[in-house]
Each structure stands twice: as C-alpha cells, then as structure tokens.
Structure 1
Amino acid sequence: MSRRAVRYWTARAALGWLALTAGQVVWFVLDRHDAGIAHIIGLAVTVLLAAAHLAVMPRWRFAVHRWETTADVVYAQSGWVNRERRLAPMSRIQTVDTQQGLFERAFRLTNVTVTTASARGPIRVHALDDAVAENLVAEITARAGAAEDDAT
C-alpha cells in the first residue's frame, strides 16, 4: 500500500461524515419548533464518532492490508476485524485489471484486480502508487503467462 492511502481513506470517509453532519444541521435549522437538546446531542455524537472513525480506520486499514507476489502465487490480505487472506496460483490467473476513480487519481493511487477461475471471486489490491500498480500488473501478467500448469 502507498502511504498516501491513509490520507485517501481519511478524505473519502470524511466526505461521508460531512454529508451526515450537514444533514443533521439542515434538520436542526428546518425543525426550529422542536429544535432542542436531542438535535444537539445527536450532532455531538456524530462528531465524536466521526473523529474516532477518521483517527482509527485509515491507519488500522493500512496496518492490516497486505499483498505480495511470488513466482507461484499472488497473495492479498484485507479486513478490519475479520481478516481475509487470499492466494491465487499464477496458473489460475485469467485477467489482471487496474481501476482508478477520479478521487483516486487525485491521490495518485490505483487498484489492481486479479481475476481467477475461483468461485470466491477476484483478488483486489487497493491503494497502490500508480507506478507500483503498473509494475505489479506487468509482473503478474508475465508470470501468469509463463506458468506451465494451466489449472483454469
């Protein structure tokens, strides 16, 4: 993962919390006759939860998410509480794709998806530096093409 991923995940999560907070403020303003302590408590709880989420989530996610390639497999680990570890043999790889949304482009990050014949679905590696993602795709493509056993 790129170190910029922490800032990216923080900014992306902050947009959601800002939308929720803005909705609560609009509700407070429009509901003047019943505006009271409940609105203020709700807003305070939202701000506290947002602060905790924004402080913990991106760093925790960065600490947990991992990926690696060897001559034989692609490995990825993800999750917060429930961790998922996936291994895909090079001989099972069918496609390697990259995705980059507008927000990810702003942070110069790219996601890589490795699709196999597995019913479990593709392996996704998120928030890589653009150059690292480009090299990873080239490496996996070359290794998968050179794999002798075709298990697909």
Structure 2
Amino acid sequence: MRKLLVLLAVAWVGVSLAAAWVSVEHEVPYDLSFLDRPGLPDRVGDDWLRGWGTGLTVPMGVVAAMAVLAALSALGNSAGRAGAFLLALLGGASIAFTLSSRPATERLRAVGTDTTESGLVIATLVLAGLIVLIGLTAWLTAPRERWS
C-alpha cells in the first residue's frame, strides 16, 4: 500500500513541476478566490518559488513537502505511518488549492481549449484524490506501535 502511495506522490510532484513550467511559459499567474488580488503575469516564476504558486499549481514549498513526505511514508515504522497521514492531508490541501484557483477551474470548464493546461489540472486533481484515499487507507491499516 505504501509503495503505491509513494508512486502516486512522486507522480504528483512530477505533474506539479510540469504545471509550474507550463504556467511560467504561458504566464498563468495565481488568482485564488480567498485573496483580494491576483498575481502578475510577469512574476509567475517568482510567485511559484516564494509566493502563492501559479494559476495551475501549488507553491514550490508544497511540492518539496510532498517529496519529503513521500520518502518519509516509505519507512516501515511509525514515521511511515505518520508520513502516510501527512501525505493524505497535503493531497487534500492540493485539491482545495486547485479548486480555489480561478485559472485552474477555467481550464476544467473549457477542457478542449488548451489540452496541456487542462490535462495538468485534471492530473493534479486525480493524483491528489488518490493520495488522499490511499494515504488515509495506509494510515488506518498500518499496525500501531505501542509504547511499553
């Protein structure tokens, strides 16, 4: 179960890196429903590195956290169990971020307009949903270590 979770997390990291690259190339700034102002098209790369991310993906810090948690969840002890749970939480946060991003939801509504951007948004959501499902399952079914 944890090997599948690690595979999904690594795939999510790859899709997020591709989405960041496409966002910078196409100048798709963040525009989150919970913020008062959107990002600027000429600062997409900087916003991904140190800000709110891009219009298609979460900030780099979240991508790095997913990579670290994927490695942590591969461990067979209680750290691996905690890593699986934290991966599930981060996957849920990714879904919330993507659905609160106006550019991402626009790509979902008009799937045929730019298949690259739409495909990246769909892949992000599908992988994050599977990470939540598999992560919670791995966390719930893992044997608990008891302290004596």
Which TM-score band applies after superposition, normalised by the shorter structure? 0.3 to 0.5
* Greater share of strand: 1
* Greater share of helix: 2
TM-score, normalised on structure 1?
0.37
Bigger Rg, structure 1 or 2: 1
